[in-house]
């Protein structure tokens, strides 16, 4: 999720301190606390699974990038990563690089390889299932 969870939690901590002051207007405090509660709930929901989700997704995208030769591209360097650093910020940085390359790969696959294009779509659908929140409206 972006903005990253730790930065948002730090901001909410500061907000909670400000809302503890007696001169905060009740309507402002209610609005702030309600939204903060919703964000805390979402942060709690993703806390345990984020690293596993990113590792799974990075593996799936690397497998697709390894096939870049089918459409005349070369993502060999990206395709051999191993997610040795399990900090979420590191996994997310790798995920960003991989998904940026995936966009280039799919753009080429649309013109040259319907099979690869279909496999990329399958991963994109799977990625939205991995990221789905309990209260998702869709």
Partner 1 sequence: MALEPRLAAYIATRMPHASDIVVEDLSRISGGASRETYRFRLTWAQDGARQDRKLILRRDPPASLIDTERRIEFEAYRAFRGSAVPVPEMLWLEEESEALDHPFFIAEEIAGFQASPQMLFGPPYVAILPKLGERKWTILAEIAKADPAAIGLADVMPGVAADACWDRELSYWEGVLDDDESQPLPIIRAAIRWLRANPPPPAQKVGVVHGDYRTGNFLYDDAGAIHGILDWEMAHLGDPLEDLGWSLNPVWSFGTGIAGGLLPRAEAIAIWERASGLKADPAALHWWELFNCVKGQAIWVSSARAWLDGGNREPIMVYPPWALQNAQDRAALKVMGRL
Query: Contact residues for partner 1 (CB under 8 A)?
Result: 1-3, 8, 11-12, 15, 25-28, 30-32, 34-36, 38-39, 42, 92, 95-96, 99-100, 102-103, 106-107, 110, 120-121, 124-125, 128, 131-133, 135-138
Closest CB to partner 1 among residues 90, 92: 92
Tokens describing residue 14: 């500061």
- Give whichever of 13 and 80 is closer to partner 1, judged by the CB atom: 13
* Radius of gyration, alpha carbons of the chain: 20
Q: Is the Cβ of residue 15 or residue 73 nearer to partner 1 in the bound state? A: 15
* Complex with partner 1: residue 1 or 70, whichever CB lies closer: 1
User: CA–CA separation, 51 vs 86, rounded Å?
Assistant: 7
CA trace torsion 110, 115, 121, 127 (10° rounding): -130
Least spacing, CB of residue 45 vs partner 1, in Å: 10
* Listed residue (30, 127, 112) closest to 70, CA to CA: 112
Nearest-angstrom CA–CA distance, 128 and 84: 24
| Minimum CB distance to partner 1, residue 35 (Å) | 4
CB of 138 to partner 1, least distance (A): 4
Closest among 50, 138, 129, 118 to 90, alpha carbons compared: 50
**Token pair for 17:** 């301190």
Nearest-approach distance from CB 55 to partner 1, in angstroms: 17
């Amino acid at each position: 999720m972006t903005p990253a969870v730790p930065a948002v939690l730090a901001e909410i901590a500061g907000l909670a301190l400000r809302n503890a002051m007696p001169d905060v207007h009740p309507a402002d405090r209610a609005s702030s606390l309600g939204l903060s509660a919703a964000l805390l709930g979402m942060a709690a929901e993703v806390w345990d699974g984020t690293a596993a989700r990113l590792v799974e997704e990075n593996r799936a995208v690397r497998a697709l990038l390894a096939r870049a030769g089918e459409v005349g591209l070369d993502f060999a360097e990206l395709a051999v990563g191993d997610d040795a650093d399990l900090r979420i910020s590191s996994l997310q940085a790798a995920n960003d690089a991989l998904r940026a390359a995936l966009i280039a790969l799919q753009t080429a696959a649309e013109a040259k390889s319907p099979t690869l294009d279909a496999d990329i779509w399958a991963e994109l659908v799977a990625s939205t299932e991995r990221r789905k929140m309990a209260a998702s409206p869709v």
